[in-house]
Homo-oligomer: A and B are copies of this chain.
Amino acid sequence: MLVQKYKDMLSGKSVIRELSEFATARGKEIGYENVFDYSLGNPSVPVPQEFTDAMIRMLQNEETNYLHGYSPSLGITSVREKVAASLERRFGLPYRKEHIFMTSGAAGAIAHAVRLVTVPGDEVLTFAPFFPEYHPYVDLSGAVLKVVPPQLDTFQINFEKAEEMMTEKVMAVLVNTPNNPTGVVYSEETIKKLAALMTEKSKQYGHPIYLITDEPYREIVFGGKTAPCVSKYYDNSIMCYSFSKSLSVPGERIGYVAVNPACEDAETFIYMCGQISRGIGHNCPSSIIQLAVAETIDLTADLSVYETNMNLIYNELVDLGITVVKPDGTFYIFPKAPEEDAKAFSKKALKYDLILVPADTFGAPGYFRMAYCIDTEKVERSLPVLRKFIKENY
């Protein structure tokens, strides 16, 4: 019974939540500044001043019924136009407002994308390590999430297993690049290979397999690089975006679905999103927040701190002999625990007030995740503690 299902979900305590609760409680004892909390992927950099200025300017000058009035169910038209124009400028695909549907963050976008292309019982494929929330996002739509085991040496895609698991029941593939929890960006080679496999299987099965791309970390890429735009390599693709990380406004829950202009029925898909919304209580995101992100569409917060933090942590881990793939972006790093049982490892770290998330639920047992969206000063203070912990235990 579905109702029982929600009750059951309550008893499955999230490891991340438990660790975060521990961090808060411990913070009350010894001061939160002394707890090295790498548990939560919560953006820490300030919102761009331009965003705040735009909000204040609108509130001071615009009519309230314009700012806070009903937006059309697909999103405010001018906002959809600005999103489309920005995507076209950046990625060279001919996006128009007809391809854009404004959502409540990336979670809202994925909820629509999955319902667009699957019916209950269909399978959605994703690749470990993966964001564990994909399970409720997909499973509660009635579709079934299948997780392809990881390619541990690179955290690119394990194509041998992917091919095996891309059966006729698979209607969609869900990728997350730059990736939570690894920080890795899928290479052009990986994306091309995935596109070729999906094209071949689509032909073989006589139905399209859609590529859903979850891209909230798109703007956080290190070394002055940019992440390849997955949609450029596969026509039947649906981009899911959130401004949470780029503008550092996760609580505003603002994002969009952008259907590839080359996708068959792209415009019908967007109208279908409007229908899906009616049934899942999604509504549009806040009207004033839609207007504010449109005003700052090509800006980001100062995201450089994440690269600074990554380098500090990565170098320390390497120096400690820990196996780790260097992140290309995001604010995560995903090292291998120096013992097989990552949960035991994480538990030991707590004694040093180091909050490290064991990654079993990410589909990569034996690894752990550090979310380094915290002050650099704190990262620096944590490194000798990390060293002490490793040296004393391994």
Determine the main DSSP class of A at the interface with B: helix
A140 to B6, CA, bound (A): 17
> CB of A268 within 8 A of chain B?
yes
- Taking CB atoms, residues of chain B closer than 8 Å to A206 are none
- Residues of chain A having any CB pair with chain B under 8 Å: 1-3, 6-7, 9-10, 42-44, 46-47, 51-52, 55-56, 59-60, 63-65, 67-71, 103-105, 107-112, 115-120, 133, 136-137, 139-142, 248-254, 268, 271-272, 275-276, 278-289
Question: Would you mind naming 29 contact pairs between A and B with Cβ atoms under 8 Å apart?
Answer: A2-B119, A2-B142, A3-B118, A6-B115, A6-B116, A6-B275, A7-B272, A9-B272, A42-B69, A44-B65, A46-B65, A47-B65, A55-B55, A55-B59, A68-B251, A68-B252, A69-B250, A71-B251, A104-B104, A104-B282, A104-B283, A108-B283, A109-B281, A112-B281, A133-B278, A137-B279, A140-B276, A251-B287, A251-B288
Closest to A142 in B: B2
A289 to B104, CA, bound (A): 14
A116, A137, A253: most-surrounded residue (chain B CB, <10 A): A253
Within 8 Å by CB of A287, from B71, B252, B278, B281, lies B252
Query: Shortest CB–CB separation between residue A115 and chain B, in angstroms?
Result: 7
Query: Shortest CB–CB separation between residue A253 and chain B, in angstroms?
Result: 4
Beta-carbon contact of A68 and B248 below 8 Å: yes
